[in-house]
């Protein structure tokens, strides 16, 4: 086990930012911490790393208790903070070299590691640039390179893709998977459910500092009653038809708004077929019809009653 967090409690005055948060991260995982803005992701990361004092709870990393002075543990961790933290008076190369130098003294080895990190995040053509000259996406990539150049066993990234262009986003996500394939365990926080679905092997959804569900994306989707969402584009649906639709087996909800009929069905086979039969029987005119499987937003919505997105 790489990380074990038990009953973590963190208060900011009256505000309970972490409410008995517990979870474990296993060797080789890409563990996702998914939650809306203000749910406590950064606070959790800072407490785990002993960068912030907490009120209660236990944190173990690599099987040892984590403390502010546990430098032997810290040197095996790569941290990529939510707010970019690089030196403006140093170039791309010098920045990475500086951060890598905090852990690696050997100059020759460090040169290799810095070059590797530069290639890894795709900043080869920008080695001599100062951070101010980099676009937002490239600056994020530099921030990541500074955190991972020393090849840590555990990499923690706090929303590394906020406000980056699609190309950098792709590069960053691919890079994280590559680091994982090379052996690193990863903790990744985000409020983008698509990203978390794409790269995380296990996900903990948090809200108001509390874990509301943990599992693989399929396990999370299996926890809720929603099985699929069927949308029918139609110019006209009568209230009577809507009511008869709601009486069909498995139908949990049926709403007609903006010329779209949206039917939420429970788990089960043939939901779409039942809707199609109904449409034919009632002679409803329609345009497109499509069915969507639940998303992590649906999981969040069903458990908390709110949207994951703001
Ligand atoms: N230093 C602080 N003092 C007081 N309250 C704080 C402090 N830092 C965070 N908070 C509050 O604690 C809660 C959790 O904040 P945190 O930054 O951990 O959330 P987050 O999930 O990382 O959000 P985001 O997605 O915006 O980064 C929020 O309500 C926030 O306003
Ligand atoms: Mg945060």
Residue range 248-258, pLDDT digits in tens: 999 999 999 99
Cα of 207 from ligand 1 centre, angstroms? 12
pLDDT digits (tens, 9 = 90+) for 66-77: 999 999 999 999
CB of 88 closer than 6 angstroms to any ligand 1 atom: no
141 has pLDDT over 80: yes
Place 163 in a pLDDT band, splitting at 50, 70 and 90.
confident
**Closest Cα to atom 1, ligand 1: which residue?**
12
Q: What is the mean pLDDT of the chain?
A: 95
pLDDT score recorded for residue 310: 58
Cα of 7 from ligand 2 centre, angstroms? 20
User: For strand 154-158 and strand 185-190, is the pairing parallel, antiparallel, or unpaired?
Assistant: parallel
Ligand 1 atom closest to Cα of 43?
Answer: 18
Task: Answer whether 80's CB lies under 8 Å from 158's CB.
Answer: yes
CB of 160 closer than 6 angstroms to any ligand 1 atom: no
**Closest Cα to atom 2, ligand 1: which residue?**
12
Place 269 in a pLDDT band, splitting at 50, 70 and 90.
confident
Task: Say which residues have a Cβ less than 8 Å from residue 260's Cβ, sequence separation at least 6.
Answer: 231, 232, 233, 234
- β-pair partners for 60: 4, 65
pTM value surpassing 0.85: yes
Give the mean model confidence (pLDDT) for residues 274-290.
95
| SS3 category, 308 | coil
CATH code of domain 225-293:
3.30.70.100
**Closest Cα to atom 6, ligand 1: which residue?**
12
3-221 carries CATH number 2.40.30.170: no
Domain boundaries, the chain: 3-221, 225-293
pLDDT score recorded for residue 188: 97
Share of the chain above pLDDT 70, in %: 100
Cα of 288 from ligand 2 centre, angstroms? 39
Share of the chain above pLDDT 90, in %: 94
12, 53, 210, best to mutate for ligand 1 pocket (most atoms within 8 Å of CB): 12
- β-pair partners for 262: 231, 255
Place 309 in a pLDDT band, splitting at 50, 70 and 90.
confident
**Closest Cα to atom 25, ligand 1: which residue?**
37
CB of 227 closer than 6 angstroms to any ligand 1 atom: no
Exposed / middle / buried, residue 128 (Cβ in 10 Å: 0-12, 13-18, 19+):
exposed
Cα of 43 from ligand 1 centre, angstroms? 6
268 has pLDDT over 90: no
| Residue 260 CB neighbour total at 10 angstroms | 14
Task: Answer whether 94's CB lies under 8 Å from 76's CB.
Answer: no
Give the mean model confidence (pLDDT) for residues 127-133.
97
**Long-range pairs, 23-29, Cβ under 8 A, ≥24:** 23/204, 23/211, 23/214, 25/1, 25/185, 25/187, 26/1, 26/2, 26/185, 26/202, 27/1, 27/2, 27/185, 28/180, 28/183, 28/185, 29/2, 29/185, 29/186, 29/201, 29/202
Q: Which residues lie at CB < 5 A from ion ligand 2?
A: 41-42, 82
Cα of 69 from ligand 2 centre, angstroms? 24
- Helices marked H in 35-165: 41-48, 71-74, 92-101, 107-121, 136-148
81 has pLDDT over 90: yes
Greatest C-alpha distance within the chain:
77
């Amino acid at each position: 086990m790489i990380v074990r967090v038990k009953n973590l409690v963190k208060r900011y005055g009256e505000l309970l930012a972490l409410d008995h948060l517990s979870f474990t991260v296993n060797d080789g995982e890409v563990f996702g911490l998914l939650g809306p803005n203000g749910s406590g992701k950064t606070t959790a990361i800072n407490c785990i790393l002993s960068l912030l004092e907490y009120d209660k709870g236990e944190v173990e990393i690599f099987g040892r208790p984590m403390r502010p002075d546990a430098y032997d543990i810290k040197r095996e961790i790569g941290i990529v903070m939510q707010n970019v933290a690089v030196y403006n008076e140093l170039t791309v190369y010098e920045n990475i070299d500086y951060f890598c130098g905090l852990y690696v003294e050997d100059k020759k080895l460090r040169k290799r590691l810095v070059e590797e990190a530069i290639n890894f995040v795709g900043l080869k053509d920008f080695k001599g640039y100062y951070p101010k000259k980099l676009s937002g996406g490239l600056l994020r990539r530099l921030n990541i390179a500074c955190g991972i150049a020393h090849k840590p066993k555990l990499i923690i990234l706090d929303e590394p893709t906020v406000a980056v262009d699609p190309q950098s986003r792709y590069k960053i996500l691919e890079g994280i998977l590559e680091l994982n394939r090379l052996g690193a365990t990863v903790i990744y926080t985000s409020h983008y459910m698509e990203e978390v679905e794409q790269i995380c092997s296990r996900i903990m959804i948090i809200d108001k500092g509390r874990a509301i569900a943990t599992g693989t994306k399929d396990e999370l989707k299996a926890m809720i009653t929603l099985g699929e969402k069927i949308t029918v584009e139609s110019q006209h649906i009568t209230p009577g038809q809507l009511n008869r639709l709601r009486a069909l087996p498995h139908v949990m909800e049926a709403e007609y708004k903006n010329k779209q009929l949206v039917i939420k069905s429970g788990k089960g086979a043939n939901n779409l077929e039942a809707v199609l039969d109904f449409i034919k029987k009632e002679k409803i005119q329609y345009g497109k019809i499509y069915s969507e499987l639940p998303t992590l937003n649906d999981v969040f919505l069903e458990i908390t009653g709110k949207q994951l997105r703001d």
